[in-house]
Structure 1
Amino acid sequence: MGSIVLNIIKVIGNRLPAVHLVAVSVCAVIIGFTLMLVPSEEVSATRGDPSLTRSSQQETLKLDLNLEKDAAEPALRNTAPAAALLKNAAKERPSAETDSSDADDSAPALATSTDTTAQAVAETAPKADNWVNYKVTSGDNLSTLFKRAGLSARDVFTVSAATKDSEALSRLYPGESLSFLIQNGELKKLKHLINPLKQVLLEQDGDSYSIDIVEQEPEIEHRFAQGTIQNSLFLDGEKAGLPSNTIMEMAALFGWDVDFALDIRKGDSFRVIYEEKRFEGKVIGVGDIVAAEFTNQGDTFTSLRYTDSKGNTSYYTPKGESMRKAFLRTPVDFARISSNFNLSRRHPVLNRIRAHKGVDYAASTGTPIKAAGDGKIIYRGVKGGYGNVIILQHGNNISTLYAHMSRFKKGLSVGSRIKQGQLIGYVGMSGMVTGPHLHYEFQVNGVHKNPVTVKLPHADPVPKTERASFQATSQALMAQLETYSKTQVASAE
């Protein structure tokens, strides 16, 4: 500041008379002295530190002395070192001597320092992987999903080559999801979420991909439901809170003893203990039935699950007899009988007496038809008024016939071995019929028997070596059924 004043005086001195020069000099001295006494903003910010003030005064004195020698130099050259010294002094000030006014004044600088540090940490912290997720919809395949993710046909080929010897990505179903991690146009990782418990992870490994199949076990909890038949097993089962899969399993368990198309009556009842699968606190599905009872027209049938010492699981009565019979009572689920076994029935198309050697189950076209028992296909094709027919040969000179199919299950031919409950075809209207239905016949030694009333042989009972273990399981499950039932009734009241 002193150099500025001196320069001004020199300029004025060259242009004004002596008297005026004296007046100007006096004013300049007064202004300069005043400016020296008024602290700058930076100096005010450090006023609370006595040691710093003394140091600053010493530096200012030195600067004033030097200003007289260097008055002809630009002001910027002299003020810059002073500002630098003040800033250095502020940096060296001990934090312990800072009072409340210092804290308030230094807050903006502290915030700036914190922001800078946070920015530096953010720049050095690893960035999270940026996954892109796609839901599999009807009609999707690997190519369409890769194209949607911006990948090429070459990427599809590379991934397919890496997974050709495994089940990974072999089939995609609607509802599943594929997640892509793409960096610089390259597929680094791929996740195929099959269900909440199973996923396939592919990770780039050179020119190919490594495969890791991750499977987790769900938590299993027991659930209980009971109800009374007012309409049908399916409707009343849903009303009682049973999942549809559990209703179907219950129908299959008791299907050897109860014809749900013919025998079921209003007032029949059921109670069931079944498994519920949970994962991370959410219900993800249902498991098997643990124990169940169905009362039909006053007769109670009980089915208990038992796993033997070899790990084989099956269902038995409380006495250890197998629930599974050698034959299903009905080859179609939830159908109604439109025509019973009758050797003197009048044919609806021919309008004359003609023996009806089987049972007709009315159902919509396309309803699945199951094999009544283990056996071998001895006929598959068109058979006169029967239309599309399959005939199975079973043990003990028993055979079954399935007629009027709309189509056969693909892959089946004469000689094919069939398991009980296996899909063999679909309900239709082929042959001489008035509506879609399954015509089902049951023969023993070549003689037609009524499929509804014929006594069906049982499968093997609990082995003698497992009897003690089974009895313990049986008693525990029967006690659980009673306890659950009483608890639910009490809570309802």
Structure 2
Amino acid sequence: MGKVITLFKLLPKLHQILLCILVFVTLIIVLIPSDDVQASKQTVSSSGEYGLNTRYDVPLAFRTPTPPTGSDSINQKNAETRKQPLAQTSSRNQIKTEQTTAVDIEPVLNEKHFQVKSGDTLAALFSRAGLTAKDVYDVTQLPKSKKNLLKIMPGDELVIAKNDDGQLVQLRYHLDKISTLVVNRVDDKYQESISTKQVETRSKFANATIENNFWNAGVAAGLTPNQIMQLATIYGWDIDFALDLRKGDSFAILFEEEYADGEFLRNGNILAAEFTNQGDLYTAVRYKDGNYYSAEGRSMRKAFLRSPVDFKYVSSSFNPRRLHPVTGQVRAHRGVDYVAAVGTPIKAAGKGRVIKSAYNQYNGNYVFIKHNDTYTTKYLHLKKRKVKTGASVKQGQIIGTLGSTGRVTGAHLHYEFIVNGVHRNPRTVKLPKSQAIAKKEQAQFAIVSKKLMGELEHNKQVQLASH
């Protein structure tokens, strides 16, 4: 090394500079690797061992994390995809995106709501919507559309959707709160269908104590007029709602409410009820046959109605020693006189056969019904008779209308109840016991009754605690 340095010093100054530049360039060339140099990271060989100082090709897939889930075939496919040149992969992704966009984007429809005005016809409404008489003809060739759209009423609404060319693409018309008529254009033809919302049923509780009258108590409890009448009908065989109710009587009911898409539709059936009248408790449970039974399983429907007419008041009660209002003589009044508006329907108190339907100067128009060998009922002073002698009648069937025919001082129904040939007070006589539910249904009914009455009691306790 000393001789080399001595020789270098003997060289001219210019030669020393050139030699230094040459050495520097040579070092740069030696230190920078060529393009063909492979990665020298040690990689597992085919035998599963690493080779010392051996260069291996490292695939790109091995440097990419493997997806946490998926089958081997999917992983293999992904690996092959990743081996493709970046430019080619990007190009395919772009093509795929364009295809997806083309499928997902639907034509923009021009949808408008049209309300039916007074005097509107379907043709007039279609004309206002920019549609043609041919559209009216084509749509009304569909049976459901013809039945409903040709009878549109003021206030109804039609939703009409058209495409960019102004063609009718879809029509929607609400038939009711849950059903919609839908007409779609498919391949230049119209097709119709009925779209129905799913109805959800919920149970609701209501109760009240009677202060003035039953009707006001029902309204205060949030019941509709229909529900009030339904409750009165359920207990119509046990309670006289005109005469038997007292201040302090109470009731509690569990009833259905129907919803569609979270929107209230209507009230449903009364599921269970309790009614306390003058200290006596009456229960009612609705079974799957649509009838009501006591919690123990006896039918609420008795053999006889307690009163055969919806009356305003009783003008004369059962009285064996009553003073007759016309003759002034003491004469037994063997029935009950119910006052109501002329023409009020009179119902058969029970199932039976009409043994007399006629007229005389004392009874006016009258009807006698024999129910069996024990019971007979009589209905006097009718305005009109709607049954003939010999006809069979069902309980609750209209047999005539209230009037003032015969020897009377005013319009009313004179009603008599006869047991084994003896007149009894219709308001107090013990009516035949109702039949129990069929034996094959008793076990299932017991489950239903326990569940509904338990829910009713739970709601009562919750409301009591809240107060």
Give the deviation of 1:393 after TM superposition: 3.1
The whole-number CA distance in structure 2 between the counterparts of 1:243 and 1:296 is 21
Determine if contact 1:304/1:316 at 8 Å carries over to the other structure: yes
Give the deviation of 1:177 after TM superposition: 5.6
Structure 1 residue runs of 5 or longer lacking an equivalent are 1-120, 136-142
Determine if contact 1:246/1:274 at 8 Å carries over to the other structure: no
The whole-number CA distance in structure 1 between the counterparts of 2:358 and 2:182 is 46
The whole-number CA distance in structure 2 between the counterparts of 1:394 and 1:447 is 15
The whole-number CA distance in structure 2 between the counterparts of 1:191 and 1:452 is 53
CA deviation string 1:23-48 (max 9, x = no partner): xxxxxxxxxxxxxxxxxxxxxxxxxx
Matching residue within 275, 283, 307 for 1:302: 283
Query: 1:14-163 maps to which residues of 2 (within 5 A)?
Result: 126-128=109-111, 133=116
The whole-number CA distance in structure 2 between the counterparts of 1:125 and 1:437 is 70
Query: What is residue 461 of structure 1 aligned with on the other side?
Result: 436
Secondary structure, counterpart of 1:252 in structure 2: helix
CA deviation string 1:215-259 (max 9, x = no partner): 666322111111111111111111122222221122122221222
Determine if contact 2:354/2:370 at 8 Å carries over to the other structure: yes
Change (3 A) 1:435 1:477: same
Give the deviation of 1:201 after TM superposition: 8.4
Q: Which amino acid counterpart does residue 444 of structure 1 have in structure 2?
A: V
Q: Which amino acid counterpart does residue 427 of structure 1 have in structure 2?
A: L
Q: Which amino acid counterpart does residue 439 of structure 1 have in structure 2?
A: H
CA deviation string 1:116-140 (max 9, x = no partner): xxxxx9xx855547755368xxxxx
The whole-number CA distance in structure 2 between the counterparts of 1:401 and 1:229 is 33
Give the deviation of 1:329 after TM superposition: 0.7
The whole-number CA distance in structure 1 between the counterparts of 2:422 and 2:407 is 23
Secondary structure, counterpart of 1:434 in structure 2: coil
Secondary structure, counterpart of 1:484 in structure 2: helix
Query: What is residue 177 of structure 2 aligned with on the other side?
Result: 196
Determine if contact 2:320/2:331 at 8 Å carries over to the other structure: yes
Determine if contact 1:133/1:180 at 8 Å carries over to the other structure: no
Give the deviation of 1:146 after TM superposition: 8.2
**Percent of aligned pairs with the same amino acid:** 42
Matched, 1:370 2:347: yes
Matched, 1:328 2:313: no
Determine if contact 2:347/2:396 at 8 Å carries over to the other structure: yes
What is the TM-score with the length of structure 1 in the denominator?
Answer: 0.58
The whole-number CA distance in structure 1 between the counterparts of 2:152 and 2:305 is 31
Query: What is residue 426 of structure 1 aligned with on the other side?
Result: 401
Determine if contact 2:385/2:401 at 8 Å carries over to the other structure: yes
> Could you say what the CA RMSD is over the residues aligned between the two structures, in angstroms?
4.5
Query: What is residue 95 of structure 2 aligned with on the other side?
Result: none
The whole-number CA distance in structure 1 between the counterparts of 2:400 and 2:120 is 33
Give the deviation of 1:180 after TM superposition: 11
Give the deviation of 1:145 after TM superposition: 7.6
Matched, 1:405 2:382: yes
Matching residue within 353, 357, 376 for 2:334: 357
Determine if contact 2:115/2:154 at 8 Å carries over to the other structure: no
Determine if contact 1:323/1:458 at 8 Å carries over to the other structure: no
Query: What is residue 284 of structure 1 aligned with on the other side?
Result: 265
Change (3 A) 1:261 1:245: same
Determine if contact 2:242/2:312 at 8 Å carries over to the other structure: yes
Matched, 1:314 2:291: yes
Secondary structure, counterpart of 1:466 in structure 2: helix
Give the deviation of 1:178 after TM superposition: 8.9
Matched, 1:265 2:246: yes
Matched, 1:241 2:222: yes
Matching residue within 467, 470, 474 for 2:449: 474
CA deviation string 1:90-117 (max 9, x = no partner): xxxxxxxxxxxxxxxxxxxxxxxxxxxx
Matched, 1:253 2:234: yes
Give the deviation of 1:480 after TM superposition: 1.2
The whole-number CA distance in structure 1 between the counterparts of 2:174 and 2:384 is 35
Give the deviation of 1:431 after TM superposition: 3.0
Determine if contact 1:306/1:316 at 8 Å carries over to the other structure: yes
Give the deviation of 1:294 after TM superposition: 1.0
Change (3 A) 1:444 1:133: farther
Matching residue within 410, 413, 420 for 1:438: 413
Q: Which amino acid counterpart does residue 254 of structure 1 have in structure 2?
A: Y
Determine if contact 1:341/1:450 at 8 Å carries over to the other structure: yes
Give the deviation of 1:273 after TM superposition: 1.0
Change (3 A) 1:200 1:373: farther
Q: Which amino acid counterpart does residue 297 of structure 1 have in structure 2?
A: Q
Matched, 1:487 2:462: yes
Q: Which amino acid counterpart does residue 387 of structure 1 have in structure 2?
A: G
Give the deviation of 1:483 after TM superposition: 0.9
The whole-number CA distance in structure 2 between the counterparts of 1:372 and 1:282 is 41
Q: How many residues align?
A: 347
Structure 2 residue runs of 5 or longer lacking an equivalent are 1-104, 128-135, 163-169
Q: Which amino acid counterpart does residue 237 of structure 1 have in structure 2?
A: G
Q: Which amino acid counterpart does residue 373 of structure 1 have in structure 2?
A: G
Secondary structure, counterpart of 1:238 in structure 2: helix
Secondary structure, counterpart of 1:476 in structure 2: helix
Query: What is residue 451 of structure 1 aligned with on the other side?
Result: 426
Query: What is residue 368 of structure 2 aligned with on the other side?
Result: 391
Give the deviation of 1:173 after TM superposition: 13
CA deviation string 1:330-362 (max 9, x = no partner): 112363222111222122223222222211112
Determine if contact 2:368/2:379 at 8 Å carries over to the other structure: yes
Determine if contact 2:116/2:152 at 8 Å carries over to the other structure: no
Determine if contact 1:134/1:179 at 8 Å carries over to the other structure: no
Give the deviation of 1:302 after TM superposition: 1.0
Q: Which amino acid counterpart does residue 348 of structure 2 have in structure 1?
A: A
